Amino acid sequence: MEIDVQMTFAESGARWIRACAVDDVEDDEAVRLGTQPPVTVFRSEGEFFCIDDTCTHETYSLSEGWVENCLVECTLHMAKFDLRTGRPLSPPARSPVRVHQLRVEDGSVFVQLPNDYTCDD
């Protein structure tokens, strides 16, 4: 599932974006945001995570991957990434995916994105 980003606001110079509602993401599922480059919010073991959506092995969406135990497995060539650190845990991927700060407030998930990431807001 991909959803549009709905709101932005600044806090201490950081660019926080409302990504989705907590209920939009089931456990061991993912929601890709309509940003450039794309990022994905994952939920696993009751926690939320946000990482770049594109696998570092080839250009493939990690939002399509298998999610379990705070890991995502790319469905194209089965590289696994730690959702907490972005580190690759199995080949063929060798480079980490970028991890983004996330917080949950009042039933919404907010993510902090670098200034060069764009969204339709």
Shortest reach from residue 81's CB to ligand FES, in Å: 9
Shortest reach from residue 65's CB to ligand FES, in Å: 8
Q: How far apart are CA 21 and CA 87, in angstroms?
A: 26
Query: How close are the terminal C-alpha atoms of the chain, in Å?
Result: 19
The residue (of 2 and 64) whose beta carbon lies closer to ligand FES is: 64
> What letter does residue 23 receive in the DSSP assignment?
G
Shortest reach from residue 95's CB to ligand FES, in Å: 11
- The reply on whether position 71 binds ligand FES by CB under 6 A is no
Q: How far apart are CA 114 and CA 95, in angstroms?
A: 19
- The reply on whether position 72 binds ligand FES by CB under 6 A is no
Token pair in block for residue 96: 């980490």
The residue (of 41 and 74) whose beta carbon lies closer to ligand FES is: 74
Q: How far apart are CA 65 and CA 120, in angstroms?
A: 25
- The reply on whether position 96 binds ligand FES by CB under 6 A is no
* Count of residues interacting with ligand FES (CB under 6 A): 10
